[in-house]
Structure 1
């Protein structure tokens, strides 16, 4: 919003409104604006590592409660900001809230869901994020019309509403059966909870799997050190590379810089904000499709189809900008709307592939003893890469121009090939039996071997049997 830029980032506002000598690609290149955008990611990176210990020791529900409460505080400070420092403080608190919630909610959903519907449950998390962004875009479009230029305060403050629902609702949620066993080893409580969740009394097989997993989990004192062991190498690689690839698709260029991009190619403020609404509608629709398709078609199909879709979109946008948007002057409106069309195709591909599956796959492939640490790594990598992109994108756009989108497109090619060769299918496989996937994979079976799996199985059997003496001598 122009009133927001004028109040807190006057140099950017001045370049946007008056300086015709500055390249179209460089008008929003501001270190202060970059710091404001990126501060959220630094805070999220640090807080998600703390959230891992909180989730393991005190439960997933506690992390959700902490995250929601801190997010409310950040929204209030941001909405009441009197200067840019107060604005950044509010954004830092938002980052802390996101660090806790992004670490705990995917864990909670995956552990609560039946195996045959785990993909749909987990993808609902991305759908809710997408709906939230859509509502935020609609709010931005509406409040920018308020006279006096204070509509941005409404935009920032309203973020406290869903956070309040989350914090309040967490008070009434049960803990997951896995976490009950991990924290208290109360088999009866876990069994009763499983029976309520599954709607049947026949849950003994699933309970036995959870008891074995929790027995191993309770022997682990340093999960971040443990996840580096050879037998967990596939999970560690996926926990690092999947969120890394998620961010270098360029999706946050669309999420956070879409208004900047649309202003760059010549659209007016209201049209620019409405364009972000349009792209988000497409993204939200694709999230719904992902919920329906993920447990039917599988994770690999969605990854690959979405990847091909994003490759075509990024390269096409790059070519259009190369031909039609020069350093000075505008772009013809028809071509501007063509760019918008391919951005919609891009977010649709992301919305049913890398968007929801980035939270689902690393969580479901990790055994209980490293699951919380693995999810923290996922969120930390996402925040770290997003921070780097946030710090560099506006400068990259200024210097690489249309080449920025060709660069992102090249990365999408790499990650699609990675999925094709190195990510096995995991649909409908119980989380406690996921080790079989790596033992059958053409590459990963050479890494994990049979020995690590056998040792872990014996350990689980011994620890879950109170009559077994691990040291008979």
Structure 2
């Protein structure tokens, strides 16, 4: 067996596959409007020539382009329904942290499946801009919550030495969702068929909910530290790791219970409030085998505490970098943005972009564990900045082949580090008591930055093109952002690879609580 897959059980793989359907739906809904934009908004009443010919071969008697089902809207309306998804994402990200700490990871993932389900159903039958806005808020809220809860759950069920590898699958699943919806959009962006793009979202949500109900257990770490049931937590962890794996050291890392379940004598002494003989200076186990653990910090508390503030600054900065280097200018607007600038169909190029994004993300998934999180992020940012500069110059000088290559390099560099690694770092820069709040800060920053790009990019791009003449000027801005964020990461983000806990990451003396 490959070293990457050593001590990985089929059950763990099933858990990761089911839980990451949540982030997959994030990617799916993020890009669902890209390909069908023109037909949804009534700009074009038929599919493109190449697709139309393919459809005629399948159904030669049908008159494609007749009976168009669309929702009239202005460019500002379309920008609003694109960007409102990130507003829902912000709400979900902010609410998911405290909710997942209080109610558990599994319950909150089920709630996200419900949000995806209702949002997708409304989109499928929407007849107005208002209906799509409501639907996009619901799916956005589910997406925001998913990208907080799922990386946290994966970090708690994955083997400690494989957290970087499995943590990358949040981004892999997002990219899979993007590829899926871009491919569907290429074939279904005509007549009334575009509604099936939203209808497939209903099917994904139902599959997600079924998997969570039938297969996925509550996180062992949450069960031990919050619910207080160490015995149940150990049983779940043993099932995930396999019956022959010793889980004592990992259970001890919860900071919530003895390595082994308490004896009857220890339980009775705990109930009486008496320390066992020889345990002076050690916190006595509480009923159920729990030691006193640090309370979970809230969204505001974690940023007020100077101990955690550097971590919050680091993750917020990384999440802004992830978006402001420009990836969503390609994911959300590539079909309309690139259709007159490149030598091939922009719809085909968008699918190729999504494939490269997915393949590069999967191929790069071992790199954070091998070379370090910080190095992967820095190389990723510098690669995106260089690609943005090449793209801007090639568009300005009409070099279409170089423009296409620059777009593909831009996406590949994002997948190298800036895509997957921020989801890993947010759970490694702080202790368990602050993980949920830190994830919420990280995703709140991500959705604010995504909103800025989603809403302002088409406006700024058009304004620059009109003001300066021609196209491509906006990518000079993205290249400048990349240089600034590279300096930020070099100065403010520590390396977490190989570090046992947050105290070691920040070079602090280990605290005794």
Which of 450, 468, 474 is the aligned partner of 1:386? Answer: 450
Change (3 A) 1:217 1:55: farther
State whether structure 2 residue 225 is matched by structure 1 residue 182.
yes
Change (3 A) 1:108 1:3: closer
Alignment of 1:83-232 (within 5 A): 83-144=128-189, 146=190, 149-171=191-213, 172-199=215-242, 200=244, 202-212=246-256, 218-220=294-296, 222-232=298-308
Change (3 A) 1:390 1:282: same
1:182–1:215 contact (8 Å) kept in structure 2: no
1:317–1:405 contact (8 Å) kept in structure 2: yes
1:250–1:408 contact (8 Å) kept in structure 2: yes
Which of 352, 367, 370 is the aligned partner of 1:293? Answer: 367
State whether structure 2 residue 141 is matched by structure 1 residue 73.
no
State whether structure 2 residue 256 is matched by structure 1 residue 256.
no
Aligned residue for 1:281?
355
Change (3 A) 1:58 1:379: same
For 2:299 and 2:432, how far apart are their aligned partners in 1? 10
- SS of equivalent residue, structure 2 residue 246: coil
Change (3 A) 1:7 1:280: closer
Report the Cα offset of residue 70 of structure 1: 1.0
1:112–1:177 contact (8 Å) kept in structure 2: yes
Aligned residue for 1:332?
none
TM-score scaled by length of structure 1: 0.82
1:65–1:168 contact (8 Å) kept in structure 2: no
For 1:130 and 1:3, how far apart are their aligned partners in 2? 16
Say what the alpha-carbon RMSD is for the aligned residues. 2.5
State whether structure 2 residue 301 is matched by structure 1 residue 233.
no
Report the Cα offset of residue 385 of structure 1: 1.1
Change (3 A) 1:216 1:388: farther
Structure with the largest fraction of helix: 1
Aligned residue for 2:41?
9
Change (3 A) 1:215 1:280: farther
Aligned residue for 1:53?
98
Q: What per-residue deviation string (whole Å, max 9, x for no partner) do you get for residues 419-449 of structure 1?
A: 233322222434xx2311101xxxxxxxxxx
State whether structure 2 residue 398 is matched by structure 1 residue 356.
no
Aligned residue for 1:422?
492
- SS of equivalent residue, structure 1 residue 159: helix
- SS of equivalent residue, structure 2 residue 499: coil
1:362–1:378 contact (8 Å) kept in structure 2: yes
1:314–1:405 contact (8 Å) kept in structure 2: yes
Aligned residue for 1:64?
109
Change (3 A) 1:5 1:310: closer
1:30–1:394 contact (8 Å) kept in structure 2: no
2:225–2:254 contact (8 Å) kept in structure 1: no
Aligned residue for 2:512?
458
Aligned residue for 1:316?
390
For 1:150 and 1:216, how far apart are their aligned partners in 2? 59
Report the Cα offset of residue 13 of structure 1: 5.9
Q: What per-residue deviation string (whole Å, max 9, x for no partner) do you get for residues 201-225 of structure 1?
A: 5322222221259967653464531
Change (3 A) 1:2 1:281: closer
Change (3 A) 1:32 1:422: same
Report the Cα offset of residue 243 of structure 1: 0.7
Change (3 A) 1:259 1:29: farther
Count of paired positions: 415
Report the Cα offset of residue 29 of structure 1: 8.8
For 1:294 and 1:284, how far apart are their aligned partners in 2? 16
TM-score scaled by length of structure 2: 0.76
Report the Cα offset of residue 5 of structure 1: 4.8
For 1:258 and 1:384, how far apart are their aligned partners in 2? 21
- SS of equivalent residue, structure 2 residue 218: coil
2:35–2:347 contact (8 Å) kept in structure 1: no
For 2:205 and 2:421, how far apart are their aligned partners in 1? 23
Alignment of 1:365-376 (within 5 A): 365-376=429-440
Report the Cα offset of residue 197 of structure 1: 2.8
Report the Cα offset of residue 74 of structure 1: 1.0
- SS of equivalent residue, structure 1 residue 363: coil
For 1:141 and 1:277, how far apart are their aligned partners in 2? 8
1:228–1:236 contact (8 Å) kept in structure 2: no
Q: What per-residue deviation string (whole Å, max 9, x for no partner) do you get for residues 43-69 of structure 1?
A: 111122122222111111111111111
Report the Cα offset of residue 193 of structure 1: 2.6
